[in-house]
Structure 1
Amino acid sequence: MGPRFHTDLEALHRDMRRDHGPVVPVTLPGGVPAWLVIGYRELLRVTGDPLLFPRDQGLWNQWPNVPEDWPLRPMIGTPQPSVYFTVGEEHRRHLAMVQDALESVDHIELRRSTEEIADRLIDGFCGTGEAEIISAYARPLTILALARVLGFPDSEGPALIRSLSDMCDGGPDALTGFQDALAAMSRLVERAHHQTGADMISAMTAHPAPFTDEEYVLNLMALTSAGFLPTSDWLGNSVRLMLTDDRFAASLTGGRHSIPEAMNEVLWEDTPTQILAGRWAARDTRLAGRHIARGDMLLLGLAGANADPDAHTPHAADGLRNNNFAHFAFSHGEYQCPFPAQEIAEILARTGIEVLLDRLPGIELAVPAQALARRPSPFLRGMTVLPVRFETTPPHGGH
């Protein structure tokens, strides 16, 4: 939870590797011990072996030491029937329903809807010549677009932004944020029983396998919490990179050829989900010379593994990863982000960047790059604010 996660992550990982190797003993708030896996090969092993390292938090040997109001409970999870917190055949049952719902999303309609929301948001500030695009654009665009996909009305977007942000940041309001978001999911499921549409909740409730309302609610929570902040941070981190790195300057003059490269570079170097909880050892074992006891929790250090110097290094003359997609940004193995969800996130983030650059000529940072601050979350890596200035333009359509 220290400040170096947000100010000097590269050096922090380097020091961790020097002092502890690829599997690092860490202490979570309240003195709770865990292992942070930052080695690329070690993380590949952990995520690729669901029998030895299942996503079964019921195995955790620290539950007796964790208070009910522990702020990381929403991120660690308690045993519950959803795609994210089940194992084995039960996990595959939930995944089949969620996968079908994700595949029902019309990508052409999603892009059109995202462009429409993006234009509406930019209309609110394009005449001012300046904006803070995390709170005014990246977050509302992502949650409003996701809300439409899932079946939420637009009016619930602001409350979802607040509750999910509080939950994912792991601070004092995390549990309240979790309960508020859960209540919103419950209302959506209740509405779906009375009216259906071309949305994911309708596809979920129409799936042939039987599920309880609680299971629908918890799966919605998993999809929304996994999709909202990581996607808005992917958008924000990519724009930050393009505004601060000369390698991407060409795309700011109207070309789009650098946007995919910037987005992929972010997934390697500035990945929105930097730590993921977690896996639990099903039996005593060894990992990179460490004795891992049965029930120990392993935190997936996605950002640390991406930065492992023994794994992947840039090969292009400009130092970019380009077509190297072997990062851990979406995790790996049985519990990785489903591919249809990755596609949805990419459409949202890329469309948001394209519309922003099309609509705001001459966009540039309004503060020195070194003044930008990260949100104080050990799990997610995104900007607190991203102030920009640009040439004033009329609203969409010139009206």
Structure 2
Amino acid sequence: MVETNPEVTPASLDSLTDLGGEVVRLYGPRFQNEPAVVYREIRRKHGPVAPVLLESDVPAWLVLGYREVLHVTSNPQIFGRDSRRWNAWAAIPADWAIRPYAEYQPCSVFTEGDEHRRRGGALSDALAAVDQFELRHDVERIADGLIDFFASSGKADLMTQYALRLPVLTIARLFGLPDAEAPTLAADIATSADEGEEAVRAHQRVVARMRRLVEEKQERPGSDYPSRLLAHSAGLPPEEIPTDLFLTMGAAQLTTADWMGNTLRLMLTDDRFSLNLSGGRRSVGQALNEVLWEETPTQNFVGRWAIQDTRLAGQHIRKGDAVVLGLAAANADPLVRPASYARTSGNHAYMSFSHGLHGCPQPAREIAEAIVETAIEVLLDRLPHIALAVPENELQWRPSVWMRGLISLPVVFSPM
């Protein structure tokens, strides 16, 4: 059964109506370990839009339906990104772990209309300037260096020693940061997406580093992402760029690392991709695509806030209500992916990168795919006879309502 909280006082849920006496907690051990099962149970009880409680029992609406997510993301005049509209701010704890990602900040993520197009266009242009050939070459060198550290041991943790390190080392170079800072940044970014007070402190540390980085690039610009943002014709205020840098780095590091880890897990545990991996019946590209459907790194996204009273899938959404985009649940919506048609090969209609004006920019998607695909290909080329070191059911997932990623991925292989 779904973990529920039938004793929540009406005052804390006054914006959620027609609850039927139960509101699902979208956190806790069961959700962490079996999110797909929880989504199915929520869908059976409430349909494609459901009342939920986030960490600290903060009320919100979870949109699980594919068509409903498409509707929300395609209608910014009804569901906006400016979180200052939220009617529950007075009840949000100051140390709420999700606050850094939900509280309004003057950056592209929370702007709307023409202002968002201006800011988002600058970010997209700066990312589009990344040379894909050079990027893949850098990833190959970084991957080889990381593999060299554990290749002779015959064992490794592909999350802590590879998937969580490689993206941030690559991104650090795109940002013009020294390699030595990458491990600390990776740890803080990962912590900022988890639960608890330390998530807030980790977010503050990363933003502080981005502020210093902007100051450094103002004094000594280079051929890097922050320098291109500072020089862009959109004229972004330098004091507002650090938040965009944090969100870009955070999204790139977390989603890319988990995309890599989840794909490696699939290839290590699914016979369709095995055959010593390097000779697998399906390609790395097919595995990457399947993971975006079945185990997408970004499970949920907060969010949108109702600009006016409206109805969505029969639910009364009041002005100022928070709406969480259930990207993973939408990908599994039986109305668009019935059990009789489970194939994902060649199908790129997933919601994993969201949709609409605030969806992940195309250049960012291309960079992430280049990093993950290259990193996995290098790993399989270097260690072709790799195997999972523990039973699949012993793998543990990080406790996060937003991201889906492994804590560790232990493997064994023939020492080099």
Change (3 A) 1:256 1:180: farther
Is residue 330 from structure 1 mapped to residue 362 from structure 2 by the alignment? Answer: no
**Equivalent residue number for residue 18 of structure 1:** 44
Aligned partners of 1:75 and 1:170 also within 8 Å:
no
1:148-187 aligned at under 5 Å gives the runs 148-187=173-212
**Residue of 93, 98, 122 corresponding to 1:67:** 93
1:1-399 aligned at under 5 Å gives the runs 1-76=27-102, 78-250=103-275, 252-254=277-279, 258-313=283-338, 319-393=342-416
Deviation (angstroms), 1:211? 2.2
Aligned partners of 1:251 and 1:257 also within 8 Å:
no
Deviation (angstroms), 1:256? 8.7
TM-score by length of 1: 0.95
Amino acid at match of 1:128: S
- My pick for the range that moved more, 341-350 or 185-194, is 185-194
Deviation (angstroms), 1:171? 2.5
**Equivalent residue number for residue 397 of structure 1:** none
Output one character per residue of 1:75-98: Cα deviation in whole Å (capped at 9) or x when no partner: 22x221111111122111111110
Gaps of 5+ in 1: 394-399
Aligned partners of 1:315 and 1:321 also within 8 Å:
no
Deviation (angstroms), 1:153? 1.3
TM-score by length of 2: 0.91
Deviation (angstroms), 1:149? 1.0
- My pick for the range that moved more, 31-40 or 293-302, is 31-40
Change (3 A) 1:67 1:345: same
Amino acid at match of 2:61: W
Amino acid at match of 1:39: G
* Cα root mean square deviation, aligned: 1.4
Aligned partners of 1:254 and 1:358 also within 8 Å:
no
Gaps of 5+ in 2: 1-26
CA distance in 1 between counterparts of 2:284 and 2:277 reads: 10
Output one character per residue of 1:190-220: Cα deviation in whole Å (capped at 9) or x when no partner: 1101222221111111112222222111110
CA distance in 1 between counterparts of 2:110 and 2:176 reads: 23
CA distance in 1 between counterparts of 2:390 and 2:124 reads: 42
DSSP 3-state at the match of 2:274: helix
Deviation (angstroms), 1:156? 0.9
Deviation (angstroms), 1:30? 2.7
